[in-house]
Amino acid sequence: MSKMMHAVRIEAFGGPEVVRWQEIPVPEPHEGEALLKVRAASVNPVDYKIRNGKYPAVQTDKLPYVLGRDACGTVEACGPGVTKFAKGDQLYAFVGIERGCYAEYVIVKESEASAKPASLDDVAAAAVPLAGTTAWQGLFRCGELKSGQRILIHGGSGGVGHFAIQFAKAKGAYVITTASEAGIDFVRQLGADQVIDYMKQRFEDAVRDVDVVFDLIGGETEDRSWRVLKRGGVLVSTLTPPSQEQASAHGVRATRFTAQPSSAELGEMASLIDAGKVKPMVTKTFALRDAASALQIVEAGHTQGKVVLTVD
């Protein structure tokens, strides 16, 4: 008989009522995979979008579906061919869309995981992989941000935004961010050089000639961002694809991306964290079985930093 574990699953799309606490078999690691005993998993907007049925990569053929894209834990077992990890190693990971981290165990591939930052506990480490990777790839892969450049980050107090501010500062960029009044002190503590209260001031009246706009808000915010970019700059979005016509008209580059797991980038982030240059901010924790409530908090918006689930 298979060993069993608890997991948070959905069997249909919908609101909080579709989230289930269930017993399912513990997965077995195959070639190049490790079985991770989960200590903590983080909550990301993609999780409630999947629950709602509004994430294209997860359709009804994927149901029932275990939620959660990133976690921290301890290697329980390794499949054949695993060379990077061994039983007992502490890892943090951003896993592929076909597997879920809201569980007592999850399969991770060598390409998706890295040694946990030594300076962090399990909860703080679990907050990093997806949001941190999104910030990293948005800034450096897509935005090609360099030392001395100016960047405007829309939504700097959120999960991705609070990493983006710190990564950009660590790179040597001048960081401008928008925030609500409640988030102003928070983003300043993260190192933002200039903070715009978007409820009191239009950012395009306060900012000019930035090299990169990192847009985590979309909609009207994106539409108003073209005029703050210098020619040759870049607008990077995690949401809807930016208008290529507008980009051409303003002499800039524009791109949308979806973060992809990267063991190497997790390793680079861990080095910055352990050097004291980046600190994940966890504002709320919930027990794993209370994931439905945690998802509601994130879905409501305006959360500073990250929300994390703990596994007893």
Q: Tell if the pTM clears 0.95, that is, is over it.
A: yes
Calpha distance 8→206 (Å, rounded): 45
What is the residue-level pLDDT of the chain in tens, covering all 312 positions?
Answer: 579 999 999 999 999 999 999 999 999 999 999 999 999 999 999 999 999 999 999 999 999 999 999 999 999 999 999 999 999 999 999 999 999 999 999 999 999 999 999 999 999 999 999 999 999 999 999 999 999 999 999 999 999 999 999 999 999 999 999 998 899 999 999 999 999 998 899 999 999 999 999 999 999 999 999 999 999 999 999 998 999 999 999 999 999 999 999 999 999 999 999 999 999 999 999 999 999 999 999 999 878 999 999 998
Q: For residue 302, what pLDDT is reported?
A: 78
131-256 maps to CATH 1.25.40.10 = no
Look at residue 214 in the predicted model and tell me its pLDDT.
Answer: 98
Residue found by looking up tokens 């988030």 in the block: 183
> Who's near 56: CB < 8 A, 6+ residues apart?
none
Q: Which ranges constitute the DSSP H helices of the chain? A: 45-52, 122-126, 129-136, 159-171, 184-190, 203-206, 220-223, 244-250, 263-274, 291-300
Distance of CA 261 to the CA centre of its chain: 11
Listed by start position, the domains of the chain span 4-128+280-310, 131-256
In sequence order, the 6+-apart residues with CB closer than 8 A to the CB of 156 are 162, 164, 165, 177, 178, 179, 183, 187, 190, 192, 195
Res 1: pLDDT: 55
**Which residues are CB-neighbours of 151 under 8 A, at least 6 positions away?**
139, 143, 145, 168, 173, 174, 175, 176, 210, 211, 212, 213, 214
The fold of the 4-128+280-310 domain, in CATH, is: Quinone Oxidoreductase; Chain A, domain 1 (3.90.180)
pLDDT of residue 312: 84
Structure tokens at 143: 């935005």
User: Which pLDDT score is estimated for 301?
Assistant: 85
